[in-house]
Chain A
Amino acid sequence: MAKLILKYEAAVLKEVDVGATPVGIGRAPDNTLHVDNLAVSSHHARIFNDAGKLVVEDMNSLNGTFVNSQRITRATLKPGDVVTVGKHSIEVRGEAEAIPNAPMPAAPAKPAPPKLQETMVLDTKKRRELLAAAMAGGAPADAQGATQTQAPAAPPRARIPWLIVMQGKTDQHEYSLSNKLTVIGKSSMATVRLVGLFAFFAPGVAAQISKRDDGYYIGTGEKVPKVNGQPITGPTKLNEGDVIELGSVKLNFVYRD
């Protein structure tokens, strides 16, 4: 069975076996490999047995997941590989073995299950139990019989995103994005208010940034914004350091503690 060894420099922090359920890595306490470091996203990456192959998958982390110093989004692991998240490393020992009906990664192999049974809703008690079990990394198919009652994730320590004005006229030099929705433009709803001579021609809603559970997404307003020089083609997740361009206005997206 494959084993993962979580290390900080030379110190071994934890060892886990990779069984049928994926091993979550991240800052939130519901991860099997819980790494309490600000460079690590709350649900940063996961490692799981995909039909006998050990696979690591980055879960849109802020600072990336590396295998033997190469940044990856998904990679197959072999014994001896080192996965790095922030300053922590995870060593891989032993091979993954084929697990019959491994519930998590089985989606492509399984025939499509019967769909659309009657809709049901979980009552409060059942919801808490099922959510807690499912969120602890258990597969949904197992969840009903699960005995795990680990508490759901505590909210991760908040890092606040900011927009820093690099170029163009706005009513402030920088903005913290505290709301669920931030409008950029000259509309009365706008947080980032465009001002100056050209504001008359500026759109009421040039673009908007929405907060979702996994980060901040920029969406189109009357103009299609550019992120790092590329016009977006749909809601686009913002990463630390991204440059947003709206006509003559340039904004830098950064996180601060």
Chain B
Amino acid sequence: MRVDMEARSDLGRVRKNNEDNFAVVPELGLYVLSDGMGGEAHGEVASGLAIEAIRHHCVEWANNPDTPLFGDPIPNLPPRANRLASAVRLANRAIYESAQRHPSQKGMGATVVAIWLDEEQMSVAHVGDSRLYRMRQGQLEQITQDHSLVAEQVRRGILTQQQAETSQMQSVLIRALGIDPAVEVDAEEHPVLPGDTLVLCSDGLNRMATDPDIGSVLNTSLSAREATERLIALANDNGGEDNVTVIVVRVIAGTNGLLARLWRWLCGE
């Protein structure tokens, strides 16, 4: 499939080290972003372990379809989305076991959001508050639901969105990788359309910039690279209080034109 893609990670303006990590495997259409936590440089250890475990498991499965799944398959989900969920469970285990072995790493953890896409569909898996947005026909939609305390309270109607945005509890996650021996992974399969723009980001973006501002940057950027640079600049201009990592994937039209459709129709596909 044809995509225009850019991924960047920035320290921000306040933090001394960057605890975010990301990985891109273009030949698979796999994009992974992780935001680590835990003092004394252990945040980046956790996010690095997450990224490596996920990349390794997905590449392994692409080369060998008999690679066993880790954890129980989620019903009604295609194999690739289940594979991604399996990879995220392995990432959880890798961080958890490392923290058990090394007392200094106690309490480290990470969030993750990952997508794996082809021309028509995208598998999504996430844990924590790193997000996936999708811009389609000029409309921005947050695809993942944060596993944070305030997001849960908004979902249950206990806080309004405005209260959530000023809450002191914004940094409290209710799910993350590496905290417990097992983790519940949210995984979904979505259709992908030519013209869609997908954005994976750490909370350093969406806590510094509003959704309308993010949408406006995406709508007025001519390339993934321009969008990525402007989103990072937006977060830093608004304070840059945290590391900010952004992956922008623009799905380019081309395989779904009238001729291609006519051809597929004639071939009976």
- Interface positions of A (Cβ within 8 A of B): 22, 24, 26, 30, 43, 46, 59-60, 104, 107-108, 110, 112-124, 127, 130-131, 134-135, 137, 140-141, 143, 153, 179-181, 183, 185, 187-189, 200, 204-205, 208, 212-214, 219-222, 224, 233-235
Ordered by A's residue number, 17 sampled pairs between the chains whose C-beta atoms are within 8 Å are: A60-B157, A107-B162, A115-B207, A119-B129, A121-B109, A122-B174, A130-B149, A130-B172, A131-B149, A131-B174, A134-B153, A189-B121, A208-B190, A208-B191, A234-B139, A234-B141, A235-B139
Interface membership of chain B positions 174-195, coded 1 if the CB is closer than 8 angstroms to chain A and 0 otherwise:
1110011000000011110100
Is the pair B191, A204 in contact by a Cβ cutoff of 8 Å? yes
Known A-B contacts A118-B37, A134-B158, A181-B188; the reply to A219 vs B153 at CB < 8 A is no
- Interface residue B213 (Cβ < 8 Å from any Cβ of A): no
A222–B157 alpha-carbon span in the complex (Å): 32
Interface check B169, CB cutoff 8 A: yes
Given A108-B162, A212-B155, 6 more contacts at CB 8 Å? A104-B163, A121-B175, A134-B149, A135-B153, A140-B169, A188-B120
Say whether B241 contacts A115, CB under 8 Å: yes
Closest chain-B Cβ to A49's Cβ sits at a distance in Å of: 15
With a cutoff of 8 Å between Cβ atoms, the chain A residues found around residue B203 in the complex are: 119
Query: Residues of A contacting B17 with CB < 8 Å?
Result: none
Q: Are the C-beta atoms of A107 and B163 separated by less than 8 Å? A: yes
> A120–B172 contact, CB under 8 A?
yes
A30–B172 Cα gap in the complex (Å)?
22
List the interface of chain B (C-beta within 8 A of A): 35, 37, 39, 76, 109, 120-121, 128-129, 136-137, 139-141, 145, 149-150, 152-153, 155-160, 162-163, 166-176, 179-180, 188-191, 193, 203, 207, 241-242, 256, 261, 265
Closest partner residue, chain A, to B171 (CB atom): A119
**Complex CA distance for A119 and B172, rounded to whole angstroms:** 6
Q: Are B137 and A224 in contact (CB under 8 A)?
A: yes
* Docked pose: A135 CA to B169 CA in angstroms: 14
A123 in contact with B168 given A131-B149, A140-B153, A204-B191 (CB within 8 Å)? no
Q: How far is the CA of A112 from the CA of B261 in the complex (A)?
A: 54
Which residue of the partner chain, among B121, B139, B145, B166, contacts A220 with CB atoms under 8 Å? B139
How far is B167's CA from A57's CA once the two chains are assembled, in angstroms?
Answer: 20
Q: How far is the CB of B79 from chain A (nearest CB, A)?
A: 14
Q: How many angstroms from the CA of A134 to the CA of B168 in the assembled complex?
A: 14
Q: Is the Cβ of B137 less than 8 Å from the Cβ of A220?
A: yes
Contacts A43-B157, A131-B174, A134-B153; A121 near B265 (Cβ below 8 A): no
B166:A107 contact, CB within 8 angstroms: yes
Nearest A residue (CB) for B163: A107
Tell me whether B171 and A140 are in contact (CB under 8 A). Answer: no
Contact A120-B37, Cβ < 8 Å, known A131-B152, A214-B157:
yes
Cα of A211 to Cα of B62 in the assembled complex, Å: 30
Residues B188 and A123 in contact, CB atoms below 8 Å apart: no
Q: Which of A112, A127, A233 contacts B174 (CB 8 A)?
A: A127
* Chain A residues with CB under 8 A of B129: 119
Q: Are B137 and A121 in contact (CB under 8 A)?
A: no
Contacts of B169 in A (CB 8 A): 140-141, 143
Q: Which 4 A-B pairs rank lowest in CB-CB distance, beginning with the nearest?
A: A43-B157, A121-B176, A59-B157, A213-B155
- Report Cα–Cα, A130/B153, bound state, in Å: 11
Q: Assuming A116-B242, A122-B173, A131-B149, is B37 touching A110 (CB within 8 A)?
A: no
Chain B residues with CB under 8 Å of A24's CB are 157-158
